[in-house]
Amino acid sequence: MSETFRQTVHLLMGLIGAGIVLRLDGRGAFVFLSAVLVAQFLLCDAFTRGYDVPVFSRILDESERTGKVPLKGGIAYAIGALFCLAVFGREYTAVGLVTVGVLDSISTLVGLRFGHHTLRGRKSLEGTLAGVAAAALALAFLVPWWAAVFVAAAAGIIEAFFPLDDNVAVQVGACVVLAVMKAGTGML
Over residues 153-171, the pLDDT tens digits come to 999 999 999 988 889 999 9
* 54-91: burial string, b at 16+ Cβ within 10 Å, e else: eebeeebeebbeeeeebbebbbbbbbbbbbbbeebebb
The pLDDT tens digits of the residues spanning 44-79 come to 888 888 888 887 777 776 666 666 777 888 899 999
